[in-house]
Amino acid sequence: MTVGVLIITHDNIGSSLLDTTNDMLGSCPLQIQILRVTRASHPDALRKQARKLIDNLDTGHGVLVLTDMYGSTPSNIACYAADTQHAQIVTGLNLPMLIRVLNYPRLSLTELTEKAISGGREGVCACFTTMRKQDDTE
């Protein structure tokens, strides 16, 4: 069982995050496609392209769509294109989220969605606060 992954982001954010993740992990165990949204992109063409990519990525186990920012053009495109039960959308893509997703290639769509969210959230912290808490427990 493998879930497909579609990354929809502004400019090269998705490509850069995926390249960095691949450098760190060494390989990409999931089928991933990237849709780059630029200022020159036409929304109708992007919606059609996103829908086609989701259809191509869905091998029967669903597609996880990751976008960089809620309410932005990439997330709006995702919401339009992923209007099936076989797709889940998670916004706020960051490096910890993508690493978490690629570390769990055999999870179901629902489980992988939860891992993406937890990875993204756990990757954001106030460093000095976290360091102080660690010092207090030692």
List the domain boundaries for the chain. 4-137
Higher pLDDT, 51 or 28: 51
Domain range 4-137, its CATH number among 3.40.50.970, 1.25.40.10, 2.160.10.10, 3.40.50.510: 3.40.50.510
Is residue 130 pLDDT above 70, yes or no?
no
Task: Tell me 62's DSSP state.
Answer: -
Average pLDDT over residues 121-135: 81
- Name residue, tokens 């829908």: 51
Is residue 138 pLDDT above 90, yes or no?
no
Q: What number of other Cβ atoms are within 10 A of residue 69's Cβ?
A: 14
Is residue 110 pLDDT above 80, yes or no?
yes
Q: Show the beta-strand stretches assigned E in the chain.
A: 4-10, 32-37, 63-67, 87-91
Q: What angle do CA 84, 89, 109 make, to 5 degrees?
A: 75
